[in-house]
Amino acid sequence: MNEPFSAPVPDPSTLRADCARCTALCCTALGFSRSVEFATDKPPGVPCVHLDTTFRCSIHSALPRRGYRGCVSFDCFGAGQLVSTTMFPTTSWREGGATARTVFSTFEVVMDLHEMLWHLTRVRTRCHDCELTDEIDLLCAEIGGVVDAGAASVLAVDVASVRGRVRQVLDEVSDDVRAAYFADGARTDARLVPRADLAGADLRALRLCGANLRGSSLVGADLRRTDLAGCDLLGVDLRGADVRGADLRDALFLTRTQLASARGDRDTRVPLDLEGPSGW
């Protein structure tokens, strides 16, 4: 009998942004368009006008009031500090030219890889299939190895290929977890499907446990006091969604960005390893 594969699970703290150890990569490498989330346009690779000389935001304490709610909810999954302090400890994007392009490109790829690790490590505890758990461990080890090998390794990786393999595993875990919520023969509402447009919808009366809402728009949706146990929220847009009193503890693929963009309160229940935004 083959021994089960065992690989170290990434430390969750490494998949969390630590802005104090970053050279403001999200404020420079990434671009954004003027919208309800951002007050101005900013092209990729150009420092934000509010970035000071010490890599800090000069309006950080007033971001929502100044029209930059998107900055508050953004999470790089720990890519910023890794690229800044480990991969490029003696160089800075301020040098410009090829150096800046390399730093920015590395940051974007590491952010993608860390997001995959975030989801893999979280669903591992929900997986009851040993073979699937082994596959999760193998993927974590492979992705972690790419990141640990440095910038050249990161820039050489086929992100689309890795993402495809990760997506397949996440699909299988989601199917397995959600199936348990329908053992009684219950069905979900016909509107609760992947990539659904549920913006502004009142979902309080619907059974959401085990629903697959992957990629859906729930912008401004009313989810007050709903139970989202086993609900697949991968890629779901929760901006402005009302989750006051909702139970999100066992939702699948929930992220800090989703929580920060939603409207909750002290009665909103979230996973133990996440915390509600300070304004809740």
The tens place of each residue's pLDDT in the chain, 280 residues long, gives 344 444 556 787 899 999 999 999 999 999 999 999 999 999 999 999 999 999 999 999 999 999 999 999 999 999 999 999 999 999 999 999 999 999 999 999 999 999 999 999 999 999 888 999 999 999 999 999 999 999 999 999 999 999 999 999 999 999 999 999 998 878 889 999 999 999 999 999 999 999 999 999 999 999 999 999 999 999 999 999 999 999 999 999 999 999 999 999 999 999 988 888 888 9
Burial of residue 33 (CB within 10 Å: 0-12, 13-18, 19+) is: exposed
- Put simply, whether the predicted model's pTM sits higher than 0.85 gets the answer yes
Using a 10 angstrom Cβ sphere, with 0-12 exposed, 13-18 middle and 19 or more buried, the burial of residue 207 is: middle
Task: Give the span between the Cα atoms of 114 and 107, in whole angstroms.
Answer: 10
Question: What fold, for 187-280?
Answer: Pectate Lyase C-like (2.160.20)
Bridge partners (DSSP) of residue 222 are 202, 242
For residue 89, the SS3 value is coil
- Structural tokens at position 135: 């596959």
How many helices and strands, by DSSP H and E, does the chain display? 7, 0
pLDDT at 13: 81
For residues 156 and 190, give the distance between their C-alpha atoms in angstroms, rounded to a whole number.
Answer: 43
Per domain, the residue ranges of the chain are 12-26+74-178, 187-280
Specify the DSSP element, H or E, that contains 177.
helix 159-179
| Predicted pLDDT at 1 | 38
State residue 4's pLDDT score.
46
Cα dihedral value 192, 198, 204, 205, nearest 10: -50
- Angle (CA) 212 213 218, round 5°: 160
Q: Report the alpha-carbon distance of residue 202 to residue 238 in Å, rounded.
A: 13
Q: CA torsion, points 261, 266, 269, 275, in degrees to nearest 10?
A: 60
Quote the pLDDT of residue 8: 59
